[in-house]
Each structure stands twice: as C-alpha cells, then as structure tokens.
Amino acid sequence: MLAAASGVFGGVDQQYLDQARQMQALSFAAHIPLVCFGIAFPSIVLFVEWHGHRTDDPIYGVLARRWSKIMLALFAVGVVTGTILSFELGLLWPNFMATFGSVFGLGFAVEGISFFLEAIFIAIYVYGWGRLSPCAHLLAGVPIVITGFAGSLMVISVNGWMNHPSGFRLEKGRAVDVHPFAALFENDYVWHELVHMYLAGFIVAGFVMAAFYAFGWLRGRRGRYERTALVIPLTIAALAAPVQVLVGDWAARDVAKTQPVKLAALEGLGTTEKGAPIHILGWYDGKEVKYGIKIPKLLSFLSFHDFDAEVKGLDTVPADDRPPVNVVRFAFQAMVGIGSALALLSIFYLGSWLRYRRLPRSSWFYRAVVAAGPLALAALICGWVTTEVGRQPWVVYGVMRTADAVTGASGIAIGYATLALVYLGLCVAVAWILRRLSRVPLDPAALAADASR
C-alpha cells in the first residue's frame, strides 16, 4: 500500500488540503438530500397519479399535481448543486481526474445521458398536466423513475470503484491497461452501495415529506387531503426503513471483506482480534475504545457470522494510512442509531395498520414522525461521512492519496467561504419556496368535488 500513485501531474504542496476536502464535503452534503428526492419523488408522484386514475378519486390528482411542482423545484436545485460537484472534481482534484478520468469517466458519461433524459421527461411531465392525455402523461413519468435509478447506479459505480478500485494497472504513476466496463460494473462493491443508497432515497424523502404533514396534523390539519399526503410517504418510508437494516448489515459484511481498515475505524478496533467486541458510544483514544458499552464477540459475528472470527485492526496498516477514527466512528454510530430508531418507529406504524387498520392515535407518534424527517437527513449525511471519510487518506482506496489528488492552485479558502455563503442563501431560498408552495390554497374545484361525496 505504500507505493501510492503520484499521478500524471505528480504531487503538489497544498496547505489548504483540509479546506478543499471540507468544500467538497459541503457541496456533497448540500446535494445528496436532493438526490433522495430525485430517486423517490417521481415514483411516489407517479403512484399517486396512477392510484387516482384507478379509484377515480380527484384528491390524488390534486396531490400529484402539487407534489410534482415541488419535485420540479427540488430537481432544479439538484441540477445546479450537481453541476457544482462536477465542476469541483476538476477544480479541486485535477490530479485525480487527469490520472483516472479515463477509468471511471464512462460512468459519468452514461450518467450524463440519463440525466439528460430525466430533465427532458420531468419537463414534459410537469408542464404536461392537462396538456397531454392522462395515459400519455402517466407514461411520460416512467422514464423519470428509470433514469433516476440509472443515474444513481452510475454515480455509485464510480464511488464503488474509488472504494474498491480495479480495471487498470499502474505504470509510472499512470493508469494503463484500462478496462472501464470492468472497473465500474464488474465490481462487487457497487451493489450494496447502490441498494443502500436507493432505499435511503425513499426513507429520507418519505420521512421528510411525512414530517411536514405530521406537523400539520398536530396543529389540527387532518382533512382527507392532508391525511392522504401524510400516509403515502410515511408508508413507503416505513416499509423501506426495516429493510435498510438488513441491507446495511450486508454492506458492513462487504466492507469487512474488502476494506478491513475502514471496518476497524467504524468500530474503533485498534488491534487485530479474534472474537472482537462491539462498543456502543465511547471514545477511541488511539489504541482502543474508552467508556463505551462493550458487547463481546459481536463484531466478529456480524462481520463474518462466526463469534470467534479474526477481525483486522487498525494496527495492520501504518498510522499514515488510517482514517480519522473518531469522526468515522461517530458518524457510523449515529447512522446505525438513527436507522434503528426509524425502523422501530416504522414497525410500530405498520403494526398499527395490520392490527387496528388505522393510523396510530397518540400525538407522540406524530411528534416522532416530525422528528424522523430531520433525523433521516442526518443519518443520510452520516452514512456518507462514514464511507467517504472512512476511505481516507485515500481518494482511490490503496492507490492514490487525497493529498496527491488536490489542486496546486491557491485561493481554496476564498472559494470555500464563497460557496458556504452561497449555499447558506440556497438553504434559505429552498425553505422559502417550500413554505410558499405549501401555502397555495388547494384547487377549489377538486375540494368541492370532494365535499360533495
């Protein structure tokens, strides 16, 4: 692992490496919640529209129409924050791009095409309300769902490659013998990341939407419209959240196999051990976890399904090759903790349907749903911190260090401060538009039709 690639351009001395990393992380944290809506919103809106046709109930049409406007606004913000990310690949990490652009670029090229199709059909869908036949309109929504999935597959395939690189050889710092297809799609690391993220999209979008309506519910807005708008996203999130626990376990086992150092950082395992324990909470002091709640042998069991399996510790690599353990560990524990809590809330909700065939009545349930929205977002960000900071100090795991990928240009701090300000403004703007869109009165014709029932 010590023979790290210096890349096409060779290393540079960049004193603002940390700022460059934080700037990339900020851009990513701003973009990834929008990705969740890009993944989940089209399927949800399309289901609502289809259900409306099936039941001849106008309230679903009203709901789909209003949600599709929010979907378009969030898509617009996702488009531009995604553009910033693609700019930053070149602006901040030129040596990474120059050295490996040809290896993983195919993923982004196909992503570009699917993004194109997504933009085309989202426009046709949203501007096509009442202007296309109901059937054509419904069909125009299908490519949005497919391209949303294809786009995540492509981006995740690049991330999977960065975590588990293959499909090339290194010769004098350059990538030669490049096989882009093998690098991106014959990589077993891609699939758990893809499923984990795809489900996260539904969980985050579902709980965030449900949180809005649960908040209204607590304030007495409990009409048929609001009830439907609450139940649909909440149900889909509640189905996905327990499944995510199983998928997350699968992901962790793959990490144990291919990135043992990352796993050791997740659990704060300083030295290689047989029958390794898990610690809940606590602090890693450079050798072991202090003050945590210890559960003996559980790490060995969860990683390898064997209570006495050997789990590699951080001591298997030099100190320079280890990620910042406490950051990764805290993010991982937060994700798992929140994810488990959301799964429990979901099981309670689903149980209420199965047992009593109605929504829970306790207002504590609705308070919990209000909290679940921001918590799901936090778990999403923590999950990405886990995998991305957990990969450090490598940008391409075991191949190129982040410090060798960075730009030689000055002024990173200025760019970072500017972007932080702009994104702060963007946050305020998004909150403002969502508030405005939610206050547009409901279509009177549809409500009248509903009242006459």
Partner 1 sequence: MHLADVPLILLLLGLAAYAVLGGADFGAGFWQLWGGRGEREKSIREHAHHAMGPVWETNHVWLIFVLVIAWTAYPTAFASIASTLSVPLFIAGIGIVMRGTAYALRSGAATAREQRGIEVGFAISSILTPFALGAVIGAIASGRVPVGNARGDLATSWLNETSIFIGVLAVATAAYLAAVYLAADAARIGRPDLERAFRVRAIATGIVAGALALGGLAIVHDDARRIWDGLTTGAGLGAVVVSGLAGVATMLLVLRSRYEFARVTAAVAVAVIVAGWALAQRPDILPGLTIEEAAASHSALVAVIVGVGLGAVLLLPSLALLFGLFLRGRFDPHVVEPEPVRVSAPRAAHVRPQLGLAALACLVVGGTLTFFFETSWAHIIGVSALLAFVGLGFVALAALVAAGDQSD
Q: Give, as ranges, the residues between 219 and 248 that touch partner 1 (CB under 8 A).
A: 224, 227-228, 231-232, 235-236, 239-240, 243, 246-247
Q: Which of 119, 138, 218, 317 binds partner 1 (CB under 8 A)?
A: 119
Q: Which of 17, 21, 37, 111 binds partner 1 (CB under 8 A)?
A: 111
Shortest distance (Å) from residue 4 CB to partner 1: 16
What ranges make up the beta strands (E) of 39-186? 169-171, 174-176
Q: Which of 91, 170, 344, 371 binds partner 1 (CB under 8 A)?
A: 91
310 forms beta bridges with 274
Using a 10 angstrom Cβ sphere, with 0-12 exposed, 13-18 middle and 19 or more buried, the burial of residue 50 is: middle
How crowded is the C-beta side of 291, counted as CA atoms within 13 Å? Answer: 5
Residues of span 368-397 touching partner 1 by CB under 8 A: none
Residues of span 37-76 touching partner 1 by CB under 8 A: 47, 51, 54-58, 61, 69, 72-76
The Cα-based distances of 282 to 290, 322, 344, 379 in angstroms read 5, 19, 24, 19
Residues of span 323-362 touching partner 1 by CB under 8 A: 350, 353, 357-359
- Angstrom distance (rounded) from CA 171 to CA 177: 9
Shortest distance (Å) from residue 250 CB to partner 1: 5
- Decide whether 319 or 440 has the Cβ nearer to partner 1: 440
Total chain residues near partner 1 (CB under 8 A): 115
179: contact with partner 1 by CB under 8 A: yes
Backbone angles phi, psi at 284, to 5 degrees: -85, 120
- Decide whether 233 or 270 has the Cβ nearer to partner 1: 233
Tell me the residue type at 369.
V
Tokens 């001591």 appear where? Answer: 315
287: contact with partner 1 by CB under 8 A: no
Shortest distance (Å) from residue 113 CB to partner 1: 3
- Decide whether 176 or 293 has the Cβ nearer to partner 1: 176
Shortest distance (Å) from residue 95 CB to partner 1: 6
Residues of span 406-425 touching partner 1 by CB under 8 A: 407-411, 415, 418-419, 422, 425
Shortest distance (Å) from residue 7 CB to partner 1: 9
Of the listed pieces 98-106, 286-294, 337-345, 383-391, which binds partner 1 according to CB under 8 A?
A: 98-106
Shortest distance (Å) from residue 340 CB to partner 1: 16
Sign of the dihedral through C-alpha 254, 167, 201, 381: positive
Q: What is the DSSP letter of 431?
A: H
Q: What is the DSSP letter of 398?
A: T
159: contact with partner 1 by CB under 8 A: no
- Angstrom distance (rounded) from CA 165 to CA 103: 10
Preceding peptide of 393 cis, ω within 30°: yes
- Decide whether 287 or 436 has the Cβ nearer to partner 1: 436
Q: Which of 64, 124, 255, 385 binds partner 1 (CB under 8 A)?
A: 124
Residues of span 6-25 touching partner 1 by CB under 8 A: 8-10, 12
The Cα-based distances of 33 to 104, 115, 202 in angstroms read 24, 17, 11
432 CB-near residues (< 8 Å, 6+ apart): none
- Angstrom distance (rounded) from CA 452 to CA 59: 12
